[in-house]
């Protein structure tokens, strides 16, 4: 699992490789790298990462699910568990909520890294065919 001292290849908003002006793949490190890892984990199914079968929030399980209290609770629990598993996140700062609009769940997460004072936000849409991060950042 990525931490605050790690470095990785920077991905674009669609999870694809980016290219620097020199043609090389740019890197991200520190909090940016950790945040990128959280976004990737949120949209990954458990079992899809061959070397860590427990990595992922498995939000695809909720595609075409009915909007009820139990479904919302399970979505929130998966997000909260995923965020709490990161030692670099202040557990007391985690806030998770789920709304339902236009046949899609909207998962809203906010949290703070332990060495930061600013809150980071992450919004994920779970609709009838996909799971997509629609907003992320500070």
User: Residue 77 gets which letter from DSSP?
Assistant: H
**In the chain, where are the structural domains located?**
7-137
What is the pLDDT at residue 74?
A: 98
User: Residue 127 gets which letter from DSSP?
Assistant: -
Integer Cα distance of 37 and 121 in angstroms: 14
Q: At what angle do helices 30-42 and 69-84 cross, to 10 degrees?
A: 150
Integer Cα distance of 20 and 9 in angstroms: 11
Average pLDDT, the chain: 91
2 pLDDT exceeds 80?
A: no
Structure confidence by residue, pLDDT tens digits, 37-86: 999 999 999 999 899 899 999 999 999 999 999 999 999 999 999 999 99
Give 19-63 as a DSSP string: --TTSSPPEEEHHHHHHHHHHHHHTS-TT-STT-TT-S--GGGGT
What is the pLDDT at residue 60?
A: 97
pTM to 2 decimal places = 0.87
Class of domain 7-137: alpha beta
């Amino acid at each position: 699992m990525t931490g605050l001292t790690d470095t990785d290849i920077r991905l674009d908003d669609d999870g694809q490789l980016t290219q620097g002006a020199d043609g090389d793949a740019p890197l991200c490190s520190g909090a940016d790298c950790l945040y990128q890892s959280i976004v990737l984990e949120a949209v990954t199914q458990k079992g899809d990462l061959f070397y860590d079968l427990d990595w992922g929030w498995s939000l695809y399980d909720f595609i075409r699910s009915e909007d009820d209290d139990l479904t919302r609770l399970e979505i929130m629990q998966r997000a909260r568990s995923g965020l709490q598993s990161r030692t670099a996140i202040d557990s007391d700062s985690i806030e998770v909520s789920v709304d339902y609009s236009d046949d899609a769940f909207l998962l809203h997460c906010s949290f703070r890294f332990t060495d930061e004072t600013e809150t980071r936000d992450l919004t994920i849409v779970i609709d009838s065919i996909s799971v997509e991060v629609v907003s992320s950042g500070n």
